[in-house]
């Protein structure tokens, strides 16, 4: 019997006593005890696999359960035959390595040993990272749980890239990992790609755990994915250890955000971002003092706006450009802005940021969710600058986000549409199936149904390829329609906002929802000028990202009505608008029903902000569906959906 067995046994006894004192079962878990009807589960032979040793957690049966404390630490007598065999295996490992494979059952990405318990014990004691195993997978019973859905995603991932060691705590992350390394889950990866990810993950894990990652409540895979959202997998293998340590240090707060159940702190009203009372604010003549720095026309706050497209070919960019122009004149010369257009590539985006940095721009605005990966990378590289991205439900500590509660305006538009439609049929032209957009559709549908319980909303999508939506709506006799929120300057027309089509095909505009980006940018930039911006993290915990989610009460969202609609329709919209602003009415008050059934009962509390933002279902009076990403034609829109699309949209088309 070797001295090493005595050391291992001492650790085992310590572990046993500690677990027993805490009221926990001190023995190894046995799969037969953990899973009901385990013998009825389907067995799938996987074959010989290098298994991460830390994923081997127990025994298959009771046979050797009492020979070990947790962690496979031995506890039997030093004079026992078990101790002699354990010591022999220890010597074999130290001299030439243990070569025989163990036999294990894998269940839900954890391994339970049927043959080779002592080998596992020795290897765990020596901190050997992997063990060769002959694996049989036990297919879990189908269930409607997050754990089951994540595991099914893992099974799909394993077919493409047979890597057991990477695990995630949320759905959709295996597909995201694949996209980060230029692969998909639909076909097997090249061997080189698999080995790159395996090596990069192991290298990252080593540095991350040395930093203290094991104390965080996320998996190493979750943290690895955060890293890959900023830096490439190849960089993990080409950079020095010190560079990688520095990177992990710089993005540590991004890992902390991942640990939060509620990752985003929503600031719904500008009043929550009041300027510090103790700070001196000078008037426009003397400039604006911000923590020792004075902004003036001679030394203005400089803000850069980076656009993927240009205002001429993008309605969305055009709206933000109007806001930028408004910002230039809003603060008496104390603010100066610059724009960078057509920055759709990583190279163009990085050049724009470098130019902004060289010009000493203090704040950078990016206006699309698809720009978030680049924005995050540059925010980490330029901590001296403030970065904001126009999106919702993207959680990063280094980048603040901002978006509008447009669903409030859509609710009013839906009510107005129902008041003028004479056949209960209303069209809705969606842009792309991203977070926030689904709430807009549902609020519109609910607003229409409140006025006309028989109203049906015929949904089409601007981003969906090969669909003749105009012919479809015409065939359904849909004459009142909600189109894009803004015109496209290069393609002027009247099919925007809420409009009605006459029998002769003429278009009559009824109302238009308004994104008042000028007002929004004034609120954000004003908080920087007055020194309140940095203090606005106070409403958010350290492990939360901050999102400005302003609505009609802040003046950033509104509805413009045509002078030609009836007095009663105007009165209807005004009454609803006042109630929304006063927060006495929300479109999602009371009963909410989707196409699949009841979402919320009439007496249940309001839907939370998170549930509104992350809606991935359509209201019960909507005729249509959420398109799959494979049905989207435009590459830029696809990228936006990949970054910020609702779950159903990200799924592959059947």
Digit-coded pLDDT (tens) for 490-509:
666 678 899 999 988 889 99
Residues 6 or more apart whose CB falls under 8 angstroms from that of 338 comprise 302, 303, 304, 305, 356, 359, 361
Question: Is 61 within 8 Å of 114 (Cβ atoms)?
Answer: yes
| CB 63 within 8 Å of CB 137 | no
Identity of the highest mean pLDDT range in 66-70, 210-214, 453-457: 453-457
Say how far apart CA 517 and CA 523 lie, in whole Å: 10
Q: What is the pLDDT of residues 472-485, one digit of tens each?
A: 999 999 999 999 88
Separation of alpha carbons 272 and 268, rounded Å: 8
pLDDT class of 486 with cuts at 50, 70, 90: confident
CATH class of this structure's domain 1-141? alpha beta
Distance CA 371, CA 340 (A): 13
Whether the per-residue pLDDT at 277 is higher than 50: the answer is no
* Cα–Cα distance measured from residue 349 to residue 343, given in angstroms and rounded to the nearest whole number: 5
Tell me, what's the pLDDT at 281?
38
Chain position carrying tokens 């989610």: 549
Tokens of 354: 């470098």
Listed in sequence order, the residues at least 6 apart from 228 whose beta carbon sits closer than 8 Å to its beta carbon are 177, 180, 181
Tens of pLDDT, residues 222-231? 999 999 989 8
406-517+553-650: what fold?
Rossmann fold (3.40.50)
| CA dist 53 → 79, 263, 449, 501, 543 (Å) | 27, 31, 58, 67, 31
DSSP secondary structure, 38-100, as one string: GGGSEEEEEEEEEEEGGGEEEESSSTTGGGEEGGGEE-S-TTSHHHHHHHHHHHHHHHT---S
Is residue 628's pLDDT more than 80?
yes
**Inter-axis angle of helices 406-420 and 437-451, to 10 degrees?**
30
Report percent pLDDT > 90 for the chain.
Answer: 69
CA 653 to chain centre: 21
Mean of pLDDT values over 10-16: 93
Mean pLDDT check: name the lowest of 53-67, 232-246, 531-545, 561-575. Answer: 531-545
Asked whether the beta carbons of 408 and 551 are under 8 A apart, the reply is yes
Mean pLDDT for 224-253 is 90
Q: What is the CATH number of domain 266-395+519-534?
A: 3.40.50.2300
More confident residue, 633 or 550: 550
pLDDT band at 284 (very low <50, low <70, confident <90, very high): very low
Q: Hey, where are the domains in the chain?
A: 1-141, 172-259, 266-395+519-534, 406-517+553-650
- Residue among 373, 387, 365 at smallest CA distance from 307: 365
Q: What does the block give as tokens for 17?
A: 């006593």
Top-confidence residue, 438 or 281: 438
Q: Please tell me the least confidently modeled range out of 270-284, 505-519, 587-601.
A: 270-284
d(CA 32, CA 542): 42
Pairwise CA distance, residues 91 & 111, whole Å: 25
Report which DSSP code applies to 510. E
Residue 202, CB-side half-sphere exposure with 13 Å CA sphere: 11
The tens digit of pLDDT for each residue in 112-158 reads 999 999 999 999 999 999 999 999 999 999 998 999 999 999 999 99
Contacts of 137 (CB under 8 A, 6+ apart): 43, 44, 45, 46, 105, 106, 107
DSSP state of 583: T
Residues in CB range of 578: below 8 A, 6 or more apart: none
Residue among 388, 371, 364 nearest 303 (CA): 364
> At residue 191, does pLDDT exceed 60?
yes
| Residue 216 per-residue DSSP state | S
Residue 188 pLDDT > 90: yes
**286, pLDDT greater than 60:** no
**Dist. CA 440–CA 587, nearest whole Å:** 10
Query: To the nearest whole percent, how much of the chain has pLDDT over 70?
Result: 94
- CA distances for 471 relative to 61, 96, 474, 475, 478, angstroms: 65, 74, 5, 6, 10
**pLDDT digits over 301-358, tens only?**
999 999 999 998 888 999 999 999 999 889 989 999 999 999 999 999 999 999 999 9
| pLDDT confidence of residue 280 | 37
- Answer whether residue 582 shows pLDDT above 80: yes
Identify the band that residue 489 occupies on the pLDDT scale cut at 50, 70 and 90: low
Q: pTM (2 decimals)?
A: 0.81
Name the more confident of 360 and 492. 360
* Mean pLDDT, residues 382-391 taken together: 95
3-state secondary structure (DSSP) of residue 13: helix
Question: CA 120 to CA 124: how far, in whole Å?
Answer: 6
Query: How high is the pLDDT of residue 501?
Result: 93
The token duo for 313 is: 């070919």
Q: What are phi and psi of 28, to 5 degrees?
A: -70, 145
Q: In the prediction, which pLDDT does 541 show?
A: 53
Q: Where are the alpha helices (DSSP H) in 96-190?
A: 117-125, 146-160, 173-180
Q: What is the pLDDT of residue 520?
A: 96
Identify the residue whose tokens are 């080593």: 206
Tell me: pLDDT of 261 over 90: no
CA-CA-CA-CA torsion sign (206, 58, 151, 215): negative
Q: Mean pLDDT for the chain?
A: 89
Residue 397 makes CB contacts below 8 A (sequence gap 6+) with 253, 254, 256, 257, 545
8 A C-beta contact, residue 80 and residue 102: no
End-to-end CA distance of the chain: 61
Buried (b) or exposed (e) across 445-472, using 16+ Cβ within 10 A?
Answer: bbbbbbbbeebbbbbbbbbbeeeebeee
Averaged over 26-48, what is the pLDDT? 91
Same fold, 266-395+519-534 and 406-517+553-650: yes
pLDDT at residue 537, rounded to an integer: 56
């Amino acid at each position: 019997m070797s001295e090493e067995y005595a050391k291992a046994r001492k650790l085992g006894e310590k572990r046993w006593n500690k677990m027993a004192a805490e009221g926990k079962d001190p023995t190894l878990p046995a799969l037969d005890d953990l899973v009901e009807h385990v013998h009825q589960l389907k067995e799938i032979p996987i074959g010989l696999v290098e298994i991460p040793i830390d994923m081997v957690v127990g025994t298959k049966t009771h046979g050797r359960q009492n020979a070990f404390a947790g962690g496979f630490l031995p506890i039997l007598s030093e004079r026992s035959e078990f101790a002699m065999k354990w010591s022999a295996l220890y010597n074999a490992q130290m001299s030439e390595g243990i070569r025989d494979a163990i036999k294990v059952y894998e269940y839900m990405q954890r391994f339970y040993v049927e043959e080779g318990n002592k080998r596992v014990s020795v290897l765990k004691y020596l901190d050997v990272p992997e063990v060769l195993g002959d694996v049989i997978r036990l297919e879990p019973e189908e269930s409607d749980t997050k754990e089951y859905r994540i595991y099914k995603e893992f099974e799909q991932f394993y077919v493409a890239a047979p890597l057991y060691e990477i695990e995630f705590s949320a759905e959709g992350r295996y597909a995201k990992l694949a996209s980060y390394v230029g692969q998909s889950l639909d076909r097997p990866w090249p061997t080189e790609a698999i080995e790159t990810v395996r090596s990069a993950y192991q290298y990252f894990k080593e540095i991350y755990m040395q930093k203290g990652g094991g104390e965080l409540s996320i998996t190493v895979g979750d943290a690895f994915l955060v890293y890959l959202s900023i830096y490439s997998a190849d960089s993990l293998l080409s950079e020095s250890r010190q560079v990688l340590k520095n990177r992990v240090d710089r993005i540590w707060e991004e890992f902390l955000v991942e640990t939060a159940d509620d990752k985003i702190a929503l600031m719904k009203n500008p009043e929550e971002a009041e300027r510090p009372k103790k700070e001196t604010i000078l008037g426009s003549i003397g400039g604006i003092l911000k923590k020792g720095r004075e902004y003036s026309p001679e030394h203005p706050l400089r803000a850069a706006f980076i656009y993927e497209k240009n205002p001429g070919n993008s309605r969305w960019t055009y709206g933000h450009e109007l806001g930028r122009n408004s910002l230039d004149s809003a603060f008496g010369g104390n603010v100066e802005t610059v724009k960078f257009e057509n920055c759709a590539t990583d190279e163009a985006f990085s050049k724009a940021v470098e130019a902004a940095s060289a010009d000493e721009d203090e704040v950078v605005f990016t206006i699309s969710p698809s720009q978030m990966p680049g924005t995050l990378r540059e925010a980490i590289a330029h901590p001296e600058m403030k970065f904001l991205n126009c999106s919702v439900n993207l959680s990063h500590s280094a980048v603040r986000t901002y978006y509008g509660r447009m669903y409030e305006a859509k609710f009013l538009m839906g009510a107005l549409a129902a008041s003028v439609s004479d056949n209960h049929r209303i069209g809705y032209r969606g842009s792309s199936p991203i977070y926030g957009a689904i709430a807009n559709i549902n609020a519109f549908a609910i607003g229409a149904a409140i006025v006309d319980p028989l109203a049906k909303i015929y949904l089409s999508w601007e981003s969906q390829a090969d669909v003749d939506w105009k012919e479809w709506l015409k065939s359904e006799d849909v004459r009142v329609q909600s189109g894009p929120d803004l015109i496209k300057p290069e393609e002027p027309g009247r099919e925007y906002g809420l409009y009605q089509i006459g029998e002769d095909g003429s278009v009559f505009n009824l109302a238009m929802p308004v994104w008042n980006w000028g007002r929004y940018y004034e609120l954000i930039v004003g908080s920087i000028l007055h020194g309140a911006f940095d203090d606005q993290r106070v409403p958010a915990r350290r492990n939360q990202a901050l999102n400005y989610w302003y609505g009609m009460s802040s003046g950033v969202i509104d509805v413009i009505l045509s002078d030609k609609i009836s007095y009663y329709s105007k009165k209807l919209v005004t009454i609803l608008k006042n109630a929304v602003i006063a927060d006495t009415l929300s479109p999602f008050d009371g009963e909410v029903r989707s196409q699949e059934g009841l979402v919320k009962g009439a007496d249940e509390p309001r839907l939370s902000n998170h549930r509104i933002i992350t809606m991935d279902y359509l209201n019960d009076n909507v005729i249509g569906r959420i398109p799959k990403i494979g049905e989207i034609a435009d590459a830029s829109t696809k990228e936006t959906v990949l970054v910020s699309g609702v779950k159903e949209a990200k799924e592959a088309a059947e």
